[in-house]
Structure 1
Amino acid sequence: MFGLLLFLLNAAQCFTVIGHRGSGCSQPKCVSLYPENSIPSYLQAIKDGADVVELDVWLSSDDQIVISHRDLQSKIERLGQIITPSLDGSKTPSVKHYNASERYKFRVKLPWAYDKVRSSLYKSDKYVMQWVPPIPLPKLSEVLDAVCPTGKKIVIELKGNDKAIGPRVFDLVTKKKMESCIHVVSSFYWKKYHGLMYQVVTDLMEPIKDDNRLKKALLFSMPPTNYPNMFKSAKYYNASAFHPACSLLSKPKMKSFIAEANGKGYDTMCYFGTNNKDDADTLRETLKTGVKSICTNRPGVLRKIVDEVPLTEEESTPAEDFSFVDDDVEEEFVLE
């Protein structure tokens, strides 16, 4: 019995709780009361017990590294889901035309969970509930300055179709001497030995494959057609981690892949998108798959589960089911 308790204690100490876009996403099904990918959201996730916060980066039209989930390669640009003009009559820009120097002209919307309006209203630029005072989309440099002094780490996910984004991130982190603050740099956009059921237009990992200043991870949301190729891909990009969607872990081959990856010394993390329920029961089942970390929209709930702390009634209640489709999976890629 003592040996089992010691094992569980060691497992909890080794497991990493990661806050998806901070304390969770802003869209329907999510429960965060802070706007996703905002500094208040990252600090709340840390307060709730996250070891690491996850964020998305892309280059704005004025060449700044900006934090937002929206990017250029989505079939539908929905930056309007996250920000809305602060002046009546102005137009929410597409990501391609978003100018970071003008970001204070726009407000980050209140998260859907704040008052749970209909999702159709939330998707519109006409959604009038806005955060006061306005919270702008942050730049990566600002997030580093806010998060790194807390002693916690960051997962940086590369987005968009500009191959300069990876080298720019590596150079910025190195210039600020914050390499120890970065948990890993990840991306869906890699091509070599892909073996997956989608094709990526721009390979964002290629420009940093030989740069080992920061650890790298391969993200994927669909099952590989050839699992051994995943290890060839990791070797090619000098990646030390695999980050599949948590929904894939129910597949027998994926369970074997996770076990093999763990055995070979790779870090394994799965992530919950906005269209995946990550309630308490689902998180408990995901822990059994053997992944070393989980990127969740409910980092506070996962922290309590890992530490075996009793949940409140609200935390243990399954998430409500809403017919809302986000572009986390289907529209992350241009399918061919």
Structure 2
Amino acid sequence: MTLILAHRGFAAAYPENTMKSFMEAAKAGADGLELDVQMTKDGELVVIHDEKVDRTTNGTGFVKDYNLKDLRKFDAGCHHKTLVKIEPIPLLEEVLAWLSETGLVCNIELKNSIIPYEGMEEKVISMVRDFNLSEKIIISSFNHYSIVYSYRLAPEIEIAPLLSEGLYMPWIYAQSIRAKGFHPHWRAAPDEIVKAALESGIEVRPYTVNKDSELERLFKVNCSAVITDDPAKAKKIKTKIKQAY
């Protein structure tokens, strides 16, 4: 059964990587979330995709240059005029506390390819363990050194390399770094790659799958999961395909 993972929450309709977006994704019937982690100047883990706050908030500058209390003053929902309440950039701790009550799975993407946040892996793992969420978490990154390091620190927490380009026999690569799955761009996940990986016991969770035709294709091939901005639409398509087969 293909899981639906809400990319930065229900990002198609709500401000990405906010508690509002995560809660709405759960209401829409997502099986889990995908979120991004950066680190503040005072070493706190926060959930935001970009290294800078400019695109998603009413602030400017790098996340790494702000202390948490100043970063939390920005509104991550400022581009959504319908929201009356300010949506602060969430702490990872706050998301995990909520998550631990839901049963949802969560893909935590470490955003440490551009800025090598020192100690990020240790902090994320420690927090995941504190909330007893090791079974529900997948740690991914484009920085494959980081996820291998994460696996060495916590072999009980699943890791998955992110792949923006097609890779020859990616399931072999995943096995070589002790990953139980990989997260390719949807263009790098044609049917034959998905099928061969699944036959080798390796999970495939493509991102960011928003086109109806691609969602249909991946549901039909029984892909492990899809990472999508619109969990509500994905759920409708999944139900339709289930009924047809």
* Band the TM-score falls in, shorter-chain normalisation: 0.7 to 0.9
**Aligned mate of 2:236, from 304, 311, 317:** 304
Does the 8 Å contact 2:171/2:202 carry over to 1? no
Alpha-carbon distance, 1:20 to partner:
0.4
Alpha-carbon distance, 1:289 to partner:
4.4
Q: Within 1, Cα distance between the matches of 2:238 and 2:91?
A: 32
- Map 1:164-243 → 2, pairs under 5 A: 164-182=119-137, 184-190=138-144, 203-210=145-152, 211-224=154-167, 227-228=168-169, 230-243=170-183
**Aligned mate of 1:150, from 102, 123, 134:** 102
Q: Within 1, Cα distance between the matches of 2:182 and 2:226?
A: 12
Paired residue total? 238
- Map 1:35-114 → 2, pairs under 5 A: 35-71=15-51, 77=52, 79-85=53-59, 92-111=60-79, 114=80
Q: Within 1, Cα distance between the matches of 2:78 and 2:236?
A: 26
Q: Within 2, Cα distance between the matches of 1:213 and 1:133?
A: 38
| Distance change (3 Å), C-alpha of 1:150 and 1:231 | closer
TM-score normalised by structure 1 residue count: 0.65
1:193 aligned partner: none
User: Quick check: 1:17 aligned with 2:15?
Assistant: no
Q: Within 1, Cα distance between the matches of 2:20 and 2:216?
A: 27
1:262 aligned partner: 198
Q: Alignment partner of 1:180: what SS?
A: helix
Does the 8 Å contact 2:139/2:157 carry over to 1? yes
Q: Within 2, Cα distance between the matches of 1:47 and 1:131?
A: 17
| Distance change (3 Å), C-alpha of 1:159 and 1:95 | same
Q: Alignment partner of 2:179: what SS?
A: coil
Does the 8 Å contact 1:35/1:41 carry over to 2? yes
Does the 8 Å contact 2:4/2:30 carry over to 1? yes
Q: 1:192-244 CA deviation, whole Å, 9 max, x = no partner?
A: xxxxxxxxxxx3223223231211111111122xx14x345323431101110
Q: Alignment partner of 2:100: what SS?
A: helix
Q: Within 2, Cα distance between the matches of 1:21 and 1:301?
A: 15
Does the 8 Å contact 1:58/1:67 carry over to 2? yes
Does the 8 Å contact 1:269/1:295 carry over to 2? yes
Does the 8 Å contact 2:9/2:18 carry over to 1? yes
Does the 8 Å contact 1:262/1:268 carry over to 2? yes
Alpha-carbon distance, 1:262 to partner:
0.3
| Distance change (3 Å), C-alpha of 1:293 and 1:222 | same
Matched to 2:238, the amino acid is: V
Runs of 4+ in 1 over 6 A off after TM superposition: none
> Structure 2, unaligned stretches of length 5 or more?
none
Matched to 1:180, the amino acid is: E
Q: Within 2, Cα distance between the matches of 1:233 and 1:265?
A: 13
TM-score normalised by structure 2 residue count: 0.88
Does the 8 Å contact 1:241/1:266 carry over to 2? yes
Matched to 2:8, the amino acid is: R
Give the share of equivalent positions with the same residue, in percent: 27
Q: Alignment partner of 2:234: what SS?
A: helix
| Distance change (3 Å), C-alpha of 1:206 and 1:249 | closer
Matched to 2:22, the amino acid is: Y
Matched to 1:234, the amino acid is: A
| Distance change (3 Å), C-alpha of 1:97 and 1:180 | same
Q: Alignment partner of 1:186: what SS?
A: strand
Matched to 1:189, the amino acid is: N
Matched to 1:173, the amino acid is: V
Alpha-carbon distance, 1:131 to partner:
4.8
Q: Alignment partner of 1:170: what SS?
A: helix
Does the 8 Å contact 1:162/1:204 carry over to 2? no
Q: Within 2, Cα distance between the matches of 1:292 and 1:206?
A: 21
